[in-house]
Amino acid sequence: MKIKLWILDVNYEVVGNEPEIRLWGITSEGKRAVVKVRGFKPYFYAVPKANVSIEKAIGSLKPLISQYRILSIDRVQRKYYGKPIEVIKITCQLPPTVPQLREAVLKLKTIEDVLEADIRFYMRYLIDKDIYPCAWHEIEVERESIRGLSVDEVYRAISDPKYLSEMTRIPDLKVLAFDIECYNPRGTPKPQRDPVIIISVKTDSGKEEILTADDHNDRNLIRSFIDLVNSYDPDIIIGYNNNGFDWPYLLNRCKALHMKLNISRAGGSPAQSVYGHFSIVGRANVDLYDFAKDMPEVKVKTLENVAEYLGVLKKSERVLIEGSELYKYWDNPEKRKTLYDYARDDVKSIYGLGEKILPFAIQLSSIVGLPLDQVGAASVGFRVEWYLMKQAYKLGELIPNRVERPYTPYKGAIVLKPKPGLHENIVVLDFSAMYPNIMISKNISPDTYVPPYEEVSPDEVYVAPEVGHRFRKKPPGFYKQVLGKLLQVRNEIRKIMKTLDPHSYEYRVLYERQRALKVIANATYGYCGWIGARWYKREVAEATTAWGREIIKKTINMAKSLGLEVIYGDTDSIFVRYIEDKVKKLCELIEKEFGLRVKPDKIYIKVFFTEAKKRYCGLLPDGRIDVVGLEAIRGDWSELAKEVQEKVIEIVLKEGDPYKAVKYVSDTISALRNKKIPLSKLIIWKSVTKELDKYEVKTAHVAAARRLLEAGYRLEIGDKIGYVIVKRPGEKLADKAMPYILVKDIDEIDVDYYIKKQIIPAAMRILEYFGIKESQLEGATYQKSLLEFFG
DNA sequence: GCCTTGAAGTTACCG
DNA sequence: ACCGGTAACTTCAAGGCG
């Protein structure tokens, strides 16, 4: 019989000395099913040394056959960096043997290198059989007994799955969102000691459950959670930082209680896997925090903030409890209800985030080929790489090894000096997908690169400006093929989208798909210049930016010769006065000259620059204001300073009245002096980017971080520290930086710091260019000290 | 020993 | 654990001065 299966998860087991791949998913009838695949065997390649014949190399492998259970040794024809190559394919019985066998093969004097020996077995299967997670496949199967697996149907495959690219529908997925709260009277909770007190759950069936501990005993709570998961039997489990907190906590808690967290569809517990995420066999465990990291607009990525940003739940409409205070709400019977509400709001937020994020995650998974639970956890580089690996296999290209290399810097893009001041009626012209298109049009790729010592006729190659790197015009290189496909498929999707109702379900699916394609295409240039990349080639990245610089320089000259004044430009954009016919002409010229598309992106009624690059603000026709690079959008300035700057910008751009802005600033300063500004607006957030001891300089946020540690909080690399500046003896700012959580009274605040180092700089950044002097900003109530007066 | 100054360290941004 | 280019802040140490 034939079934159609939407693939949710993949793993493998060794059964009776045979590897068995398991494809977990949902059938077109809506059944949860697993398809077992036998017969696929692990393999890798050995490349003989240049002076060794392939026969001799094969001969030298023979002694390894019995020890490592080698099944076959074959001569095969492949391509390596575009060049035909004959290599030895070594197939063995069991996946765990591969690492040892690989080492043994590498030791042979006949062998130069080993390729593709570091690809996990089930991923190898997905690559070779052209199978895509989160996509439909048709498989010829036979029914088998269910025996111990939590699914409706178990099958054995009797054909290879066939990818059904036309079938874009996503099945009805059972989603379970969860969140845990822990008892934490002594700072950060410790699983060996502190129980879980609440597990909140929300499912797509509409069920919301707040499971609670029996006072300080969480055994029954965890039991109930396990039962709930298994009885609801979700396809997808979502959480917020569940890979970083909830799963490790629950697992360690279970260990302490001698319990098993058996919630997988094969009966096991979550297990830590590649990319540090937790894998739950047969389900997809997705950590939405991984996707929140890609939302630069949200500076402090707490669940509340992300939920508010995505329009899921406003902070003003939910219960908020300071993390360190949770235990008080648990211990106090009158407050406990509030804690339940808090837990409910958290899980509602997670569920809502899931609705916003999962459609994209699903498309990303199906495009790059990583299972849904891994695709979020994998870094951008690995996402690109899996896509490339799949494509390489299709092209008969061998996958290069991951090798350690030294970091070699190279030149990047051009940034123009802006013309400072206020400009009216300015259009921003953007090259669409500049780097991918340069790579395509110049055929830039590791396999088309011609090294300096190689002689080749000049008309056969493209030569990069400045750096002189040469790339063969033909045949199409790896990057060209891969990027060409990404962009082409994206264009096809966008064409279909135009025929659809933007509110339709189909439209949403395609929208997310084209977005995922764009993300991968745009990351490919960065990938090729990443020293950790399998397909790294410095010359590839270097040539791409060199052509980019040339194009933007020529574009500027073309604009100038058309009589268009260029105000600013960065990498792939130029800002010019909007004179419609000239701009139109310029776009046509560019398209003709470079074969690249340029689109008038934004029109600013007014745009303001200081002398600094990468920082400006502008007024759009619809009245919105863009702020780029300035303090107002930076996460490491106090909300107060950001608000002041934003307001100043708004007044200046919309009303053109700097004196009104001055009044606003000095009123704000007065308000601060009069303690009318809440402490929350004075918090400065900065990330801890390394271990505290590794810092060479005594910075404010590290000093604050140390104080947090002293107070019993746990910190991890990457955490954001929120601190305020308080009145304290000490020369350095760091001496006055206090975690805001530990500051009880607004009177402790060093008001002068906030005036001189936050409000005034943020406001002056703009107002300086309107002739305003710092002294004009200070509040009416301000009395200069004698020292300052004479100083 | 004190003060100035510029380099270094650090973070977060732009495209 | 995708790139280079950039601004801005604080700390720190060197250099100049007396």
- A286's CB contacts (< 8 A; 6+ apart) are A236, A237, A238, A239, A354, A358, A361, A372, A373, A376
Residue A522: which nucleotide is closest by CA–C1'? C2
Query: CA–C1' distance A490–B7 (Å)?
Result: 48
Under 8 Å between Cβ of A601 and A573? yes
CA of A669 to C1' of B9 (A): 31
Give, in Å, how far the C1' of B13 lies from the CA of A318. 31
Residue type, A607: V
Cα-trace Rg, chain A: 30
Strand C, CB < 7 A, residues 512-541 of A: 523, 525-527, 529-533, 541
Using an 8 Å Cβ cutoff, are A114 and A106 in contact?
yes
Looking at residue A784, its pLDDT comes to 44
Query: How long is the CA A702 to C1' B2 vector, in angstroms?
Result: 29
Give the distance, in angstroms, between residue A693 CA and nucleotide C17 C1'.
Answer: 37
Which residue approaches C4 most closely, CA to C1'? A412
The CA distance from A655 to A659, in Å, is: 10
The closest alpha carbon to A121, from A8, A272, A274, A16, belongs to A274
Closest-approach nucleotide to residue A379, Cα vs C1': C1
- Please give the protein residue whose CA is closest to the C1' of the nucleotide C11: A697
Looking at this protein, which amino acid is placed at residue A669? I
Residue closest to C7 C1′ by Cα: A612
For strand C, the positions having any atom within 7 A of a protein Cβ are: 1-12
Å between CA of A733 and C1' of C10? 8
pTM: 0.95
CA A638 to C1' C1, whole Å: 30
Nucleotide nearest residue A635, measured CA to C1'? B12
A:609-638 Cβ neighbours of strand C under 7 Å: 610, 612-615
Q: Nearest residue to B12, CA vs C1'? A: A634
Residue A437 structure tokens: 């298109």
Closest residue to B13 (CA to C1') is A629
- Cβ distance A193 to A360 under 8 Å? no
A30 by DSSP, 3-state: which?
coil
* A274 CB neighbours strand C below 7 A: no
Helix (H) or strand (E) holding A182: strand A175-182
For A698 and C15, how far is CA from C1' in angstroms? 23
Q: Which nucleotide is nearest to A696 (CA to C1')?
A: B9
Separation of CA A739 and C1' B8 in angstroms? 26
pLDDT at A284: 98
Chain A 327-356, CB < 7 Å to strand C: none
**Within 657-696 of chain A, which residues have Cβ less than 7 Å from strand C?**
696
What are the 10-residue block averages of pLDDT along chain A, 791 residues in total? 98 96 98 98 97 96 96 97 97 97 97 97 98 98 94 97 96 98 91 96 97 95 98 98 97 97 97 95 98 96 97 96 93 96 98 97 97 97 98 97 95 97 97 97 98 97 98 97 96 96 95 96 97 97 98 97 96 96 96 93 96 97 97 97 98 96 96 95 97 95 95 90 92 92 93 95 96 79 43 36
Residue type, A261: L
Cβ contact A757 with chain C strand, < 7 A: yes
Strand arrangement of the beta sheet that strand A111-115 belongs to: A70-80, A83-92, A43-48, A111-115
| CA atom of A702 to C1′ atom of B11, Å | 12
Task: Answer whether any strand C atom is within 7 A of the Cβ of A377.
Answer: no
Q: How far is the CA of A612 from the C1' of C6 (A)?
A: 9
Measured CA to C1', the nucleotide nearest A690 is B10
- Kindly tell me the burial class for residue A341, based on how many C-beta atoms sit within 10 Å of its own C-beta (0-12, 13-18, 19 or more): middle
Residue matched to tokens 């925090």:
A289
Please give, chain by chain, protein residues whose CB is below 7 Å from any atom of strand B. A 296, 299, 412-413, 570-573, 614-615, 628-629, 633-636, 685-690, 694-697, 699, 701-702, 720
By residue count, chain A amounts to 791
Contacts of A13 by beta carbon, 8 Å cutoff, 6+ apart: A19, A20, A22
CA/C1' separation A731–B3 (Å): 15
Q: Pick the closest to residue A121 from A144, A95, A147, A82 (CA basis).
A: A95
A519/C5 CA-to-C1' distance in Å? 21
Query: With b meaning 16 or more CB within 10 Å and e meaning fewer, what string describes A101-132?
Result: bbebbeebebbbbbbbbebbbbbbbbbebebb
CB-contacted nucleotides of strand B (7 Å)? 8-15
Q: How far is CA A70 from CA A89, A106, A113, A478, A491, in A?
A: 11, 15, 18, 32, 46
User: What is the distance in angstroms measured between the alpha-carbon CA of A748 and the sugar C1' of B14?
Assistant: 37
CA–C1' nearest nucleotide, residue A411: C4
The pLDDT, as a whole number, for residue A779 is: 53
Closest nucleotide over all strands to A415 (CA to C1'): C5
**Alpha carbons A756 and A43: distance in angstroms, whole number:** 66
**Predicted local distance difference test score (pLDDT) of residue A102:** 97
Strand C atom within 7 Å of A403 CB: no
- Give, in Å, how far the C1' of C6 lies from the CA of A614: 7
